[in-house]
Structure 1
Amino acid sequence: MEHIRIANAPCSWGALEFEGIQGEQITYGQMLDELRDTGYVGTELGDWGYMPTDPARLREELERRHLSMVGAFVPVALKYAEKHADGETRALQVAHLLASVAETSGSQPLIILADDNGSDPVRTQNAGRVTGEMALTDDEWRIFIQGTERIARAVQDVTGLSTAFHHHCAGYVETPAEIARLLDMTRADLLGLVFDTGHYLYGSGSNEEQIVLDGLQRFGERIKHVHFKDCQPEIAQQARQNGWDYFTAIQHGVFCELGRGSVPFTGVREWLATYRYAGWIVVEQDVLPGMGTPKSSAERNRIYLSSLGL
């Protein structure tokens, strides 16, 4: 599986996209140094402004560490038509920056489009246990898809980059059924899927390992990017029983170090090999105060992946 490369992301150093649950304020320079030193060869961008937004400076920071830029997360409240124009503007801003460092990356970076996760009170409160009545209506789905395709088309037309959608807990595309509907309603040549193992398992409402493998098989043709994230079953069950919201579950460590949860990574690795997946694997572990040292976690996660032959 030499064609698969392993990256990490700023969220693993506490630089989360949500206000109020940020970890220790680790500079991007330290983060990139530690990411490189623990054996990763790529990174995602993180929040706009966390890393340099000047193309020449960002390129220099990556080149001197021999790192690739693999993608950038762009959240947009796609349920609301009035948010689409601003979302397109922000996505293009990020896409221009990614395109400017594409040669350094050694591969084409992706725009990782997502809902504005954590902004809807009902979905945030019920992450990991979503029921049908919390879903988008048919009209809301139509608007959601219009915004998704508008942004993906603009990114493709203006910068030549591709877009993949990140299903995510506490957003409107969380459950397997919601992922299926999104993909059924969008063009395959316009939008791929970011498959996140931890969000998929927690968002399914179950701790059953087979669910992740079934999801890979179900959506494999659309998968363009893979996030390796684990889900701790006892904490997930406690979150569901106690009615914790998404942020409380994160603070309790629902997304744990790789190999310490329910995601069957050996099976995931076998699926990737069988499917001849040739994209990036990006490790994501939301590290917050009290959860340990980000560099140590990143190192243990990399050692774990090496034990799987990755």
Structure 2
Amino acid sequence: MAIRFGTNPIAWSNDDLPELGGDTPLETCLAEASQAGFAGIEKGNKFPTDPAALVDLLGSFGLDFISGWYGAELRRRDAKAELAAMRPHLDLLKACHCEVMVFAETSGTVQGLMDVPVADRPVMAEADWPIFLDRINELGQRMADEGVRIAFHHHMGTVIEAGAEIDRLMEGTGPEVGLLLDTGHLTFAGEDPAAIARRWAHRVNHVHAKDVRPHVLSRARAERWSFLRSVVEGVYTVPGDGCVDFIEALNPLAEVGYRGWLVVEAEQDPAKAHPLTYARLGYRHLAAAAKEAGFQFEPSAESLAGHALRRPARTA
């Protein structure tokens, strides 16, 4: 599959904070995602869970179904139990011909707690690592046998957040466990997305492209904000509106011939950051950066990739 550009509904309505965009109709999200130029979209909590209904609905807006988030608890249950827990979601992805599952280890996570600093996240005990790696290797093989591969999402507030944890995960697993490269979470965690991409480009099977506003990030760290408060205050934004160098982050992927989705995923308060406006800005910047990094992609995206990289005015 050639590289394609997609988005996530979190810019229109937030699954973790339903009050952000909770009254925005799903049809508005899908229509505006299509208007912005995206070819596909990831799952949100307003989406149908019947495969036929989901594909038909997205297709009516010219969108493909990319994948969807799954929060695992492999530190607490074995691979067989995890597979049983994810079965409805896995079957949905299979029925919709998705190639990857957005997969995070969320046991003990603080990502959804408004009053707990993200710095107080859980840390995996040394004795737990071999057990965890064995379980995720087994689960990755079982899922690959069913045609859907793990795209492991390192995430703020979880046990796999820092570069050293990503390295250990990748070093301790086989190719059935792919890496979701998220530029925003890496930057928030104090990592260089380009450095992680250089180390693990050959294992990356999905990309979330979001930018970070450095002045908000500085306050989040200094004042020990929770992850959710950081989101509400605007720590994340779309590509081109923050401090992430997307050309540098995408270069290693282009060099190894990455083929898959580049997904603009920037959770913001839609009352502060008009979703369609930011979706268009993010698409244009990401497409231009991808072209500069050396990617070749579908003609439908070529016109947008020709725009010069620029930084939009900050309104959130």
TM-score by length of 1: 0.84
Are 2:141 and 1:142 aligned? Answer: no
Are 2:33 and 1:35 aligned? Answer: yes
Instruction: Give the equivalent residue in structure 2 for 1:274.
Output: 255
Instruction: Give the equivalent residue in structure 1 for 2:70.
Output: 74
Are 2:94 and 1:113 aligned? Answer: no
Counterparts in 2 of 1:184-203, with a 5 A limit?
184-188=171-175, 190-203=176-189
Report the residue type matching 2:189 in the other structure: G
Deviation at 1:304, TM superposition (A): 2.1
- Paired with 1:267 and 1:42, the residues of 2 have a C-alpha distance of 24
Instruction: Give the equivalent residue in structure 1 for 2:302.
Output: none
Deviation at 1:6, TM superposition (A): 0.3
- Paired with 2:155 and 2:113, the residues of 1 have a C-alpha distance of 11
Listed as ranges, the gaps of 5+ residues in structure 1 are 103-107
- Paired with 2:158 and 2:234, the residues of 1 have a C-alpha distance of 19
Deviation at 1:284, TM superposition (A): 0.4
Deviation at 1:140, TM superposition (A): 2.2
Listed as ranges, the gaps of 5+ residues in structure 2 are 292-304, 306-316
Q: Are the structure 2 counterparts of residues 179 and 292 from structure 1 closer, same or farther at C-alpha, using a change threshold of 3 Å?
A: same
Instruction: Give the equivalent residue in structure 1 for 2:314.
Output: none
Contact 2:55/2:65 (8 A) holds in 1: no
TM-score by length of 2: 0.82
Contact 1:123/1:130 (8 A) holds in 2: no
Deviation at 1:27, TM superposition (A): 2.8
Residue-by-residue CA offset, 1:156-179 (whole Å, 9 max, x unaligned): 33x321111100001110000011
Contact 2:111/2:158 (8 A) holds in 1: no
Report the residue type matching 1:41 in the other structure: A
- Paired with 1:260 and 1:32, the residues of 2 have a C-alpha distance of 23
- Paired with 1:53 and 1:122, the residues of 2 have a C-alpha distance of 23
More helix by share: 1
Report the residue type matching 2:84 in the other structure: T
Counterparts in 2 of 1:224-239, with a 5 A limit?
224-239=205-220
SS state at 1:61 partner: helix
SS state at 1:71 partner: coil
SS state at 1:138 partner: coil
- Paired with 1:291 and 1:143, the residues of 2 have a C-alpha distance of 44
Counterparts in 2 of 1:146-161, with a 5 A limit?
146-157=134-145, 159-161=146-148
Are 2:243 and 1:262 aligned? Answer: yes
- Paired with 1:150 and 1:237, the residues of 2 have a C-alpha distance of 39
- Paired with 2:111 and 2:4, the residues of 1 have a C-alpha distance of 37
Instruction: Give the equivalent residue in structure 1 for 2:94.
Output: 99
Contact 1:69/1:109 (8 A) holds in 2: no
SS state at 1:253 partner: coil
Q: Are the structure 2 counterparts of residues 12 and 122 from structure 1 closer, same or farther at C-alpha, using a change threshold of 3 Å?
A: closer
- Paired with 2:168 and 2:203, the residues of 1 have a C-alpha distance of 13
Contact 2:49/2:92 (8 A) holds in 1: yes
The CA RMSD measured in Å over matched residues stands at 2.6
SS state at 2:234 partner: coil
